[in-house]
RNA sequence: GGUCCCAUCGUCUAGAGGCCUAGGACGUAGCCCUCUCAAGGCUAAAACACGGGUUCGAAUCCCGUUGGGACCGCCA
């Protein structure tokens, strides 16, 4: 019998939760949920100069927005310094690690030199055999890598990957200030937290042999590894700010739904036959590591946008109102304390959701429903408002003011009669009317708009155009 | 430079030696629907990087070439 699956997402708080990190988190989360295992959030903040509280908050905020809930943590490595220290001492005592008195400047110089000579910038191991401390220097601690043989990483996605130990150098596991480094504490933590599967970005594959050697030195069982392919920008280099928004929360602000981003991210590197749309439940049911691809994927904002429109269209108007409200406030369409009748606004949103790709678009389209005074676009007026169409609008006004109900069905019937009386096509009346009541040449079906707006406001807008023209 | 990884339409991908005349999705173009815009439906253009093997048969297996990426820190 196999022990319970335990996985973790271990971001370093040196920036916001970004697209790549979010996908790593998602895959870990899905793997845990699929296997009824445990998902752990661990903050890797040993680099104190670059880690901040704000970024920890930002990462948590991003995880919460995406709905990636964790079962343990967030653990913080800075809370666990004593644990690492004891393991360093153990390695030191067992002669698997040693003090290194080289200064960062010296190391940097040697590295530069090696690179210039076209040699691998590998630590030369000069402190390895040192018997006495070097006075006046505070040492770092290095791990003693085996210098012969090979280390094999058995990866769930890549298969067996071999590294010549000769290529690996004695890396620093504890800085001279006493803080441990990544390649060391990641192992200690994964062991301590009984992680069964390490699912992380491809960029860590080269670190894995080093980590495996630490496992061995500590005499611990090695977890399963799964290295995910990278996410690239449109120019096929590592996704970065140059390629546009990379932070998860930036997508929230641009009016994306979390399920759209999640659905997009999961298909970057993972597939299930021809299926494109997945609910969260479906993903949990269907996710597996076998179907993760090996090659890097280019991030494609167009497809994300398509998914977003799909999910907006699939949402109920009631939910969309809740989601769009902050955007209405931000766009200055309503105030924080503005109360809107939920039934009415739902009806309005129902007419717009299939033509909105983001919540920002939805908010802006809602403008002419919510605001009392609308602005008529200059071009629209020029094209559709003239003596002839004003005449039509007068007839429309007459017709509408005589109507009791304002349901789109009834309106449509009445308009059919009107246009046959006028002997024109519907579009000849509908477009001027659309411009008069929405200010634009584009809107949901005109009868739906009238119905949402109601008789009183429709007549007011009509009068304004008829009188001022 | 060294090490490691990767390689199917522009992009995400299906493809487990014959089911491939290479399928789906985004995007693009056209048509249908239509009061505008969408949504929806239909159609089209669009790919196995190249060269060698293995095999009766290769997108699929092997080798090489080329191209891309990652890592080589007292960052993670």
Q: What does the pLDDT read at residue A1?
A: 41
Q: What does the pLDDT read at residue A354?
A: 95
Per the annotation, the verdict on A241 as an active-site residue is: yes
* Residue where the block lists tokens 């919540």: A359
Round and report the angstrom distance from CA (A360) to C1' (B39): 19
Q: Which residue is nearest to nucleotide B1 (CA to C1')?
A: A118
Q: What does the pLDDT read at residue A239?
A: 84
- For residue A405, count other CB atoms closer than 10 A to its CB: 9
Catalytic entry in A241, A294, A330, A417: A241
Mean pLDDT of A356-365: 97
- Give the integer Cα–Cα distance in Å for A151 and A165: 6
Q: Is residue A250 a contact partner of residue A232, using CB atoms and an 8 Å limit?
A: no
**What residue ranges in A297-412 does DSSP mark as E strands?**
297-298
Q: Which residue is nearest to nucleotide B75 (CA to C1')?
A: A47
Round and report the angstrom distance from CA (A361) to C1' (B70): 38
Round and report the angstrom distance from CA (A146) to C1' (B54): 39
Mean pLDDT of A46-67: 94
Flag whether pLDDT at A74 surpasses 90.
yes
Flag whether pLDDT at A325 surpasses 90.
yes
- Give the integer Cα–Cα distance in Å for A42 and A55: 13
- A386: which residues sit within 8 A by CB, 6+ positions away? none
Element (H, E) at A211: helix A208-218
Q: Which residue is nearest to nucleotide B39 (CA to C1')?
A: A354
- A177: which residues sit within 8 A by CB, 6+ positions away? A138
First CA to last CA distance, chain A = 82
Q: What does the pLDDT read at residue A327?
A: 97
Chain B, protein-covered positions (CB within 7 A): 1-8, 10-16, 23-27, 34-40, 68-76
Chain segment A1-10, per-residue pLDDT in tens: 457 999 999 9
Q: What does the pLDDT read at residue A278?
A: 96
Round and report the angstrom distance from CA (A186) to C1' (B29): 52
Q: What does the pLDDT read at residue A469?
A: 60
Q: Is residue A79 a contact partner of residue A261, using CB atoms and an 8 Å limit?
A: no
Nearest 5 degrees, angle CA A345-CA A351-CA A357?
100
pTM here is 0.94
User: Which nucleotide's C1' sits nearest to the alpha carbon of A425?
Assistant: B35
Residue A275 half-sphere exposure, CB side, CA atoms within 13 Å?
14
Mean pLDDT (chain A, rounded): 93
Flag whether pLDDT at A412 surpasses 70.
yes
Chain segment A173-198, per-residue pLDDT in tens: 999 999 999 999 999 999 999 999 99
Q: What does the pLDDT read at residue A447?
A: 94
User: Which nucleotide's C1' sits nearest to the alpha carbon of A46?
Assistant: B76
Chain segment A10-20, per-residue pLDDT in tens: 999 999 999 99
Q: What does the pLDDT read at residue A2?
A: 55
Mean pLDDT of A236-254: 88
- A76-85, A114-123, A264-273, A394-403: which has the minimum mean pLDDT? A114-123
Q: What does the pLDDT read at residue A243?
A: 82
Q: Which residue is nearest to nucleotide B4 (CA to C1')?
A: A206
User: Which nucleotide's C1' sits nearest to the alpha carbon of A426?
Assistant: B35
Round and report the angstrom distance from CA (A372) to C1' (B58): 68
Mean pLDDT of A153-177: 93
């Amino acid at each position: 019998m196999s022990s319970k699956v335990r996985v973790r997402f271990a971001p370093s708080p040196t920036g916001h939760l970004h697209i790549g990190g979010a996908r790593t988190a998602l895959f870990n989360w899905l793997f845990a949920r699929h296997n009824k295992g445990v998902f752990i959030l661990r903050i890797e903040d040993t680099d104190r100069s670059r880690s901040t509280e704000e970024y920890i908050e930002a990462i948590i905020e991003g995880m919460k927005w995406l709905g990636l809930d964790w079962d343990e943590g967030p653990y913080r490595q800075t809370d666990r310094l004593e644990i690492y220290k004891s393991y360093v001492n153990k390695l030191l005592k067992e002669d698997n690690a040693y003090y290194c008195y080289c200064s960062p400047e010296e190391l940097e110089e040697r590295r530069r030199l090696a690179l210039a000579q076209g040699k691998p910038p590998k630590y030369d191991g000069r402190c390895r055999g040192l018997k006495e401390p070097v006075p006046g220097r505070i040492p770092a601690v290095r791990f003693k890598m085996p210098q012969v043989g090979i280390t094999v990483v058995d990866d769930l996605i890549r298969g067996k990957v071999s590294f010549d130990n000769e290529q690996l150098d004695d890396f620093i596991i504890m800085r001279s200030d006493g803080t441990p480094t990544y390649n060391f504490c990641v192992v200690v933590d994964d062991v301590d937290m009984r992680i069964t599967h390490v699912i992380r970005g491809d960029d860590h594959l080269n670190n894995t042999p080093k980590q495996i050697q630490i496992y061995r030195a500590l005499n611990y069982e090695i977890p399963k590894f799964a290295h995910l392919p990278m996410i690239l920008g449109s120019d096929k280099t590592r996704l970065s700010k140059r390629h546009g928004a990379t932070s998860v929360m930036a997508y929230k602000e641009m009016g994306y739904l979390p399920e759209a981003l999640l659905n997009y991210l999961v298909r970057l590197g993972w597939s299930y036959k021809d299926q494109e749309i997945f609910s969260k439940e479906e993903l949990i049911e269907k996710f597996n590591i076998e179907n993760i691809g090996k090659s890097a994927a280019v991030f494609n904002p167009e497809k994300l946008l398509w998914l977003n429109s799909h999910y907006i269209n699939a949402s109920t108007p009631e939910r969309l109102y809740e989601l769009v409200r902050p955007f209405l406030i931000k766009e200055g369409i309503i105030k924080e304390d503005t109360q809107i009748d939920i039934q009415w606004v739902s009806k309005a949103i129902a007419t717009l959701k299939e033509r909105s790709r983001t919540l920002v678009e939805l908010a802006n389209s809602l403008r002419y429903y919510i605001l009392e005074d609308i602005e008529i676009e200059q071009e629209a007026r020029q094209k559709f408002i003239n003596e002839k169409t004003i005449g039509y609008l007068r007839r429309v006004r007459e017709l509408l003011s005589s109507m009791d109900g304002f349901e789109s069905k009834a309106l449509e019937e009445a308009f059919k009669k009107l246009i046959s009386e006028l002997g024109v096509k519907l579009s000849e009346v509908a477009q001027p009317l659309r411009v008069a009541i929405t200010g634009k040449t584009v809107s949901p079906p005109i009868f739906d708009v009238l119905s949402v707006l109601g008789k009183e406001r429709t007549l007011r807008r009509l009068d304004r155009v008829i009188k001022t023209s």
